[in-house]
Amino acid sequence: MNNIILPSQLKYLQSFQSENDPLIIKLEEFAKNNNVPILSKDSAKFLEILISMAAPKRVLELGTAIAYSSIRIARNLKKKSILHTIEKSSDNIKLAKENILKAGLNDKIVIMEGNAFDIMPGLKKKYDFIFLDADKNDYKQLFDYCLILLKKNGIIFVDNLLWKGFTASQKVPAEYKTSTKYIREFNQLFTSQKTLNSTIIPIGDGIGLGVKS
């Protein structure tokens, strides 16, 4: 039997999503008020649990934005672990640095400033965990680099694979048709990748989760 999350069940589950960290609350409010895309609360919590379980030594994040997920990842890393995060927007980089400083995580997070397509080919050491949350039209190409940089048995975590529900919809608003096309194509690639044991999980906006074989 297929699992169906009813509105009442979703409301019940969301009742457990209370947040008492002042910085995280502030970042969520800023993102909402300024239309900055960040992970949903349930996706962020799932990511934190995965990081805690996998205990990666090296993590790569594609798309820093205001460092919301960067901070949540870094707080769950072991003492000698490190997060490298790539961001091309100078405005985002400024905000991210301020937020990382407020979180006291300068020693755990390294921002790589620039375009991922320029930075990733120059990275020599591989990663235990990669989080992909960049421009949707770049997903397919960035995924190729991710597979190269991901260690054997490494984990890749990809956000927005349900894309506001449009990937499963026959009617897509005009402004989302191109991005939906890109995500649909990526989903086919992601789930059929022979070197990856992968799936798409209906958490938040759709999480792609894969382990490299």
Range of the domain at 91: 19-212
Tokens of 189: 């690639």
- Residues 122-134 pLDDT 10s: 999 999 999 999 9
9 within some domain: no
Question: What is the number of domains present in the chain?
Answer: 1
157 within some domain: yes
3-state secondary structure 62-75: ECCCCCHHHHHHHC
Residues 6+ apart with CB under 8 A from 99: 23, 27, 66, 67, 68, 71
124 within some domain: yes
Can you tell me the distance from the alpha carbon of 35 to that of 26, in angstroms, rounded to the nearest whole number? 14
37 within some domain: yes
Q: What is the pTM of this model?
A: 0.95
- Residues 186-201 pLDDT 10s: 999 999 999 999 999 9
- Residues 53-112 pLDDT 10s: 999 999 999 999 999 999 999 999 999 999 999 999 999 999 999 999 999 999 999 999
143 within some domain: yes
6 within some domain: no
Around 28, how many Cα atoms within 13 Å sit in the side-chain half-sphere?
A: 14
